[in-house]
Structure 1
Amino acid sequence: MPLYEYECEGCMDRFNKDISSLVENLNKKNASRISKENPGFLYIEVAKEKKEAPMFSLGEKMPARSRSTRRFKYSLEGGKSLYLELKDFKFSELMEPGEPPPKCPLCQGGKVQRVFSTFKAIFDKRDREPGPGDDFGWHKDYKVQKDEERQNWVGQDTLNQYFKR
């Protein structure tokens, strides 16, 4: 089963529209209204570029290692910077060829489009170890394959008896 990456066009358009309206009217009241209407906004912060203290911030900042978050920083006119953390509208799925595209995990619908994979590889099952959710037959086949590899392995001592130096 190949692994494909998808992104939801509906979620992306909604984020773009909300970011544009936030930049047009950059205040805490507008930011709180947008974050209530669109639950995909996790954290909004507006700060002067020269100062370290933010003018205002809404939401909870996610840990840096969070993989389900997309972070953006925009430099705006007037020496302001806008820092956003959004729920990720890109997702990956294991799909059989010919299956219908999956549903977006954020909006449970919308138009989903397959995008170029950033890791440049489509991983197939036979190239990786079986995981906890994989079928039992694949675990057995993989073990037999690895046992055969170990059994056919020729060590350095065996080679030295034929090629003495």
Structure 2
Amino acid sequence: MQASELMKRTDTSASALKEWVRRGVVIPVSSRRGPGNHAEYDDANVIAVMVAKVLQDLHSSVLRYAPAFAELHAGLRTRSTIEWRQLSVALTPHTVEFLSDRAPISRGCIMIDLDKLSGLLAPPAFDPQLQFIFGIASANQWKDVYAKISAKSAEH
């Protein structure tokens, strides 16, 4: 996704996103290279922006936690987005720990439940029901072809 989609899905200003990219809070999948090219973002960036917003809501400096965001991005990108819903992160200014249960954690960290943030991963107009890319007549035609092939295979 491009920056405009990321900003829309996370309700983030262009200036905040630009600063967070510059400081390493948001790490695009591919960076902008030359005029006319745009950085590309992924679902890990959506979660990272929402974690940054949680820090802001807690009146904590997002930039203080910037070193931990590289670890956050790497950890998210090595896991399935389905798995994210089962995880919490323990965030300190320099590290991130991914927790799959409510195990005791060290003091001085901020706990964030990724399940609560994962609701933003589907675009607002997302329809979970898949649409056919062909008409029902085509499906019936393929059903007939499959029946003929199956009948010939049974003869041999």
Q: TM-score normalised by the shorter chain: which range applies?
A: under 0.3
Specify which structure has the bigger relative contact order, considering alpha-carbon pairs within 8 angstroms and separated by 6 or more residues: 1
Query: TM-score with structure 2 length normalisation?
Result: 0.25
Q: TM-score, normalised to structure 1's length?
A: 0.24
Larger radius of gyration: 1
